[in-house]
Amino acid sequence: MNSISVFCASSSGFDESWMREARHVGEYLATKNITLVYGGGRVGLMGAVADGALAKQGKVIGVIPNFLNSKEIAHSGVTELICVETMHERKTIMDEMSEGIIALPGGFGTMEELFEMITWAQLGLHQKPVGILNTNGLYDHLIAFIDHLVQVGLLKKENQEMLLVDNTIEALILKMESYIPANVPKWLTQDQT
């Protein structure tokens, strides 16, 4: 795996372990020679993951919409900064530039990015591994809710298993490197109706 998109918060949150772990993620990707593709910010968890990678001489590509860049939150020290017009264009470019996706702690934006990427996998638009780094149990309730969706028949178990989860970046990267995409058709064909 040569490149990974990381989605995460532009804030730090209240748990100090999130900032430490975000920096560690960047450091770890750099030591594995994995290019970090991320949202381009210099603040919050985004800034920490970029700073971690840069501290270990990693390659960091930021993709930021112009309306955020104009607020001077773009990271000026990244290897490459790509400015785009829309949030959708940002996600599309991040997807095109990466071989895997990881969500760190984040809010609505991170959730939207994570679920769009896993939905694209479910629909067969890509076959990349999509992972959650469950730092300090932040995503426990979300994981339980996804289990509930399977139990009530709204999500196939095979599709649930497309979402990789672990508590350490080292273990998550191992899962991503050995990921074999499921061959689960999303839609019924005419002869299956």
Task: Give the start-to-end residue ranges of the domains of the chain.
Answer: 3-192
Q: CATH: 3.20.10.10, 3.40.50.1100, 3.40.50.450, 3.40.50.300. Which one for 3-192?
A: 3.40.50.450
Print burial letters for 146-160: b (CB count within 10 Å at least 16), e (below 16).
beeeeeeeebeeebe
User: Residue 191's pLDDT is what?
Assistant: 47
Average pLDDT over residues 97-102: 98
* pLDDT, tens only, 15-66: 999 999 999 999 999 999 999 999 999 999 999 999 999 999 999 999 999 9
Average pLDDT over residues 63-79: 87
Residue whose structure tokens are 């001077």: 72
- Tell me whether strands 3-7 and 80-84 are parallel, antiparallel or unpaired: unpaired
Share the mean pLDDT of the chain.
Answer: 93
pTM: 0.92
- CA-to-CA distance for 83 and 75, rounded, in angstroms? 12
Q: What is the largest CA-CA distance in the chain?
A: 56
Which helix (H) or strand (E) covers residue 64, if one does? strand 60-65
Residue whose structure tokens are 């532009």: 10
pLDDT band, very low/low/confident/very high, at 165 (cuts 50, 70, 90): very high
Q: Is the pLDDT of residue 187 over 70?
A: no
